[in-house]
Structure 1
Amino acid sequence: MCRAQRCHAVLHLVCLGERSHTGEELLSVMNREIDRWLSPRKLKIGTMLTDNGKNMVSALRQGRLCHAPCMAHVFNLVVKRFLKSTIPLQDILKMSRKLCMHFSHSYTAKHTLLELQRQNGIPQHRLICDVATRWNSTLHMLDRLYEQRKAITDFLMLQADKGTPLCNLDVSHWQLMRDTCRLLRPFEEATLFVSRQDYGMNDVIPLLHVLEQMLLTMAGQGAVDVAHRSQRHMTPVGAGQEEEEEVEEDIGAQELLSEMGGFSTQRTGVEEQEHLVEEEEETEDPDAPWQYAVEMEAGSPSHSLAQMAHSMLACLRSDSRIITIRQRDDFWLSTLLDPRYRSKMVAFFTPAEREAKITYYKNHLCSQLVSAFLRQRPSSDTVGPVRSRSAAMAAGEGWGGRSSGSSTSSGCLSLQSMMSSFLHQRSEETTNQPQQQQHQVDLEQDLKQQA
């Protein structure tokens, strides 16, 4: 535990070739490799990480193997379900695909767009067509279109003047496009986060918590923005208290974001509100009156963002795979073992269930560690391990080390005592570094002696 290190190894690659990819066939391949690599070495089968294909799930169910779903695939299914169930997005996606395909197939349109980009001082980027199998390509398509909105609007006006209108994108469409990008961007960051090499089961519960907090912030932010924009010239004293209270409630999520490292670029709370204010100030440039109209139109962007955030939150919470993950002890125990999240687990439960849940998972973790320790103990006819001071204290002896009771019971109590102190230690460690180092050395020596 003290020197845990993540290791990677590729044992074997199997190509099914022309064989059927049914659950029975996949299970036979898995069992053959298990018998080849794990069984001769008396290694226990752990958790099988696969996608959510029906044939894979069927194979694992038939073999009674523990299955952990691929979170990148889970997020992909959640976002696709949201995009299909949100009616206002269907029109904007249809028009966006039509536009991107037109510029992709027409050299004249592509050249005209390039000239309009130069005239408006917009980056000369090509438009992106989305792919049905990758939901984040839809985000990239909408994000690029919104970046090029001024040049595209000028192009559509030119087409209308020629009597060949391509489509009609008004202010409400651009607002919806911007809000959709803002909503989907955290899920793309989450997908990249779970694709890292150092990602593990311990990150799943905190990641789901952060995503829910972001969606709740977006859902609650809409009403605040509408009120702020409609009364921005006559704001009374103390009007910002509600926003400050919402930010204080989200402090736990911000701290968790900083702990998760690679998933900390998304703005939340005060940062997001300051970013919105900066956008409003930038759009007041007299040389860009159309952009100002897009940003300030009747507060509808915030209203649509709140509605979509509620819909996305419902899709996330109702996903059967995520519901199963929240009910599994192994995900919670792995989170509890991570020192980054151990002191923050209270934020993952409602106030009514916090104490009971934390107590349950701590006791469950200790019992599993003690059980694993007892399974690895040497037989009674072998020489017992050297008793340490912690083992003597756990057995009820003084520092002199009186030998009373069996070595097995003392070792069990010693491990449980050390694990209890390990799990209950406070996050604010003492600043006395020499004492910390000596305590770490003593703990490692005790664990080695018990083993």
Structure 2
Amino acid sequence: MTAHYIVEEPATITIGSDLLGCVSMPQRHTAENMSTKMKTVLDEYDLGQRVAVIVTDNAHNMTAALRVGGWRFWGCFAHSLNLIVQAGVKEIEETGRNVRAIVTFFRRSAHASAQLKATQERMGLSMLKLKIDVPTRWNSTMLMLQRFVTTKMAIISTMAIINVGHASPNLENITNTEWIVIEQIIELLEIFDIITQVISSEKKFTASTVILFHKQICRHLTQSLARPDLMPATGQVARKMQTECESRFELLEDSEMVAQSTILDPRFKKLGFIRETKYSKAIEALVRMVSRIDLDTNLI
């Protein structure tokens, strides 16, 4: 568990972060057990009553544990984006499988890897190694595809030189159509990569940005689907990600914490909202909250 907090100094306000604990949990990861473990860590630092919100992944047992503990929580936005991307790329599962098979072949075969390097050198290209994606590592799918496309000519040439079909019969060459789809998928995923990097910052306030980022993603997917040159397979990926966005972020503007953070951010305020009604509701809630604050008359 990591604590993030605000440090108020006479002239500045900064964000601080400290690791509270990294503990083993041999018992079953039930909601009750996990809640007890988190409470133990918080009580050790006397933070039990000072938690504003707990940010966690979207695993059911984790969210259930936070409900058991009575804490306000927020599902990690970056983790949700990764789940959306993973759901989308499953729509081109066969192409993805072929790419991973080729990448794995070059990474595991010393001979093939040496040949790829020699081909890159002969072509005057940068000496780049292929990357493999890991579902739990954010943006790794896009990074794998980017590197694959960057080394496209070297891969095609090397596969022909070493007669890869004979060396590894399970490998299939990427078709021209698949290359186009891969390039379009990279363009689809780039916005997810950029937003994930921004939202993952531990030195900036980011809660106020998530509604705006959601708007940008929705607009990006809609514009992508309107492209006349969009391949059918790419369209399937974009539509799947659209559906996932609508499902996962349907109640985004209903979150009191996120809505109020957006309003109070001078960069966004009303512009950060998608629906006028949600903005009005958030304003009313904020006014009620402020009206309950007892002001210290000595400061007036």
Q: What's the TM-score bracket when you normalise by the shorter of the two chains?
A: 0.7 to 0.9
Matched letter for residue 327 of structure 1: D
Listed as ranges, the matches of 1:286-301 within 5 Å are: 301=231
Residues 80 and 135, structure 1, Cα contact 8 Å, conserved in 2: no
Residues 60 and 67, structure 1, Cα contact 8 Å, conserved in 2: yes
Instruction: Give the direction of change, closer, same or farther, for the CA distance of 1:69–1:366 in structure 2 (3 Å limit).
Output: same
**Structure 2 residue 42 is the aligned partner of structure 1 residue 57:** no
Aligned counterpart for 1:328 among listed residues 227, 235, 255? 255
**Structure 2 residue 182 is the aligned partner of structure 1 residue 177:** yes
Instruction: Give the direction of change, closer, same or farther, for the CA distance of 1:123–1:18 in structure 2 (3 Å limit).
Output: same
| Max Rg structure | 1
Equivalent residue, structure 1, for 2:3: none
> Over residues 137-184 of structure 1, what are the superposed CA-to-partner deviations in whole Å (9 max), with x where a residue is unaligned?
222221111111111112233345996564222211111111111111
Q: Secondary structure at the match of 1:77?
A: helix
**CA RMSD, Structure 1 to Structure 2 (Å):** 2.8
Equivalent residue, structure 1, for 2:220: 214
Listed as ranges, the matches of 1:51-450 within 5 Å are: 51-84=57-90, 86=91, 89-134=92-137, 136-160=139-163, 166-197=171-202, 198-220=204-226, 222-223=227-228, 226=229, 301=231, 304-319=233-248, 322-345=249-272, 348-349=274-275, 354=276, 356-371=277-292, 373-374=293-294, 385=297, 448-449=299-300
Aligned counterpart for 1:23 among listed residues 12, 19, 31? 31
Q: Secondary structure at the match of 2:139?
A: helix
> Over residues 27-49 of structure 1, what are the superposed CA-to-partner deviations in whole Å (9 max), with x where a residue is unaligned?
2233345555146xxx5542111
Matched-pair identity in %: 24
CA distance in 2, matches of 1:61, 1:131: 30
- Cα deviation for residue 339 of structure 1 reads 0.2
> Over residues 352-371 of structure 1, what are the superposed CA-to-partner deviations in whole Å (9 max), with x where a residue is unaligned?
xx2x4433322321221111
Residues 221 and 238, structure 2, Cα contact 8 Å, conserved in 1: yes
Residues 51 and 69, structure 1, Cα contact 8 Å, conserved in 2: yes
CA distance in 1, matches of 2:81, 2:164: 43
Instruction: Give the direction of change, closer, same or farther, for the CA distance of 1:71–1:4 in structure 2 (3 Å limit).
Output: farther
Q: Secondary structure at the match of 1:167?
A: coil
Equivalent residue, structure 2, for 1:7: 15
The runs of 5 or more residues in structure 1 that have no matched partner are 227-299, 378-384, 387-447
Residues 75 and 191, structure 1, Cα contact 8 Å, conserved in 2: yes
Q: Secondary structure at the match of 2:15?
A: coil
